[in-house]
Amino acid sequence: MTSIKDSLYSQPLGQVNGFAFDENVAQVFPDMIQRSVPGYQTIIAAIGLLAGRFAKPQSVCYDLGCSLGAASFSMRQNITVENCRIIAIDNSTAMLTRLESILANETSRHSTVIELQCADIRDVVIENASIVVLNFTLQFLPVEDRKSLLAKIYNGLLPDGALIISEKLAFDDARQQTLQIDLHHAFKKAQGYSELEISQKRTALENVLIPETFAQHQQHLKSVGFSSAELWFQYFNFASFIALK
């Protein structure tokens, strides 16, 4: 995927507006997420392996909050069963228009199709799912809407289906919370972001990205019926976990 360098927060902004997945963000998104989320590429690659394991014939694999479809492409590359389709959903028209054109320009044919839906994931139907991916999406929903989405996913999953959730985490322990945030900022500095970029982006994400602790996620997942939910990856305050139906 071609990527323009993210410099959206490099100049002082008089007022920092709340972060939105608009055209400016969509344009630089691959660079932005890679340089902002520790372990992003590792997680994308692992989602492919997980899809290879969990995708069942005649079932649906959902990519909820797909952005430019990185998780969908990784799943498609690894799915070997017949008649499986991927449904990639996002409510940002800027993201989905780009993804639509990426798919339209593909030259090779694939037996697993990627279908796009421009919709709010809180409003869509989830059914006949063998694997559902929420890769850094749940954190953008109001906290009070998260449990009903998880319950809908649980109900739409086939027996033995899996939900993969990746999130920025919060920590109950104050020192741990400060340390992990500092380490994330050190990661961003090492990726070439300036102090100004880091601080303006942090302001933009305040009240937009609301992290919860892993214990809270685990509790929500168990309360809607998942039999287990365990971490498979963590890099500072960014983590990915697998919940099993």
**SS3 helix, strand, coil % of the chain, rounded to 5?**
45, 20, 35
Residue 10 C-alpha from the chain's centroid: 24
Residue 242 C-alpha from the chain's centroid: 13
- Tell me how far apart the alpha carbons of residues 48 and 71 are, in angstroms, rounded to a whole number: 7
- Of 81, 76, 38, the C-alpha closest to 193 is 38
12 and 203 in contact (C-beta within 8 Å)?
Answer: no
| Numbers of helices and strands, H then E, in the chain | 8, 7
Q: Does 140 bind ligand GEK (CB under 6 A)?
A: yes
**Comparison of 149 and 224: residue with beta carbon closer to ligand GEK:** 149
**Comparison of 141 and 181: residue with beta carbon closer to ligand GEK:** 141
Q: Residues binding ligand GEK: what is the number (CB under 6 A)? A: 20
Q: Does 204 bind ligand GEK (CB under 6 A)?
A: no
Q: Does 244 bind ligand GEK (CB under 6 A)?
A: no
Per-position x/- string for 62-101, each x denoting binding to ligand GEK as judged by CB under 6 A, each - no binding: ---xxx--xx-----------------xxxx--x------
Q: Residues 17 to 36: which contact ligand GEK by CB under 6 A?
A: 21, 33
Which residue of the chain is nearest ligand GEK when measured via CB? 65
**Comparison of 14 and 142: residue with beta carbon closer to ligand GEK:** 142
- Tell me how far apart the alpha carbons of residues 224 and 56 are, in angstroms, rounded to a whole number: 23
Q: Does 169 bind ligand GEK (CB under 6 A)?
A: no
Site of interaction with ligand GEK (CB under 6 A): 21, 33, 65-67, 70-71, 89-92, 95, 120-122, 135-137, 140-141
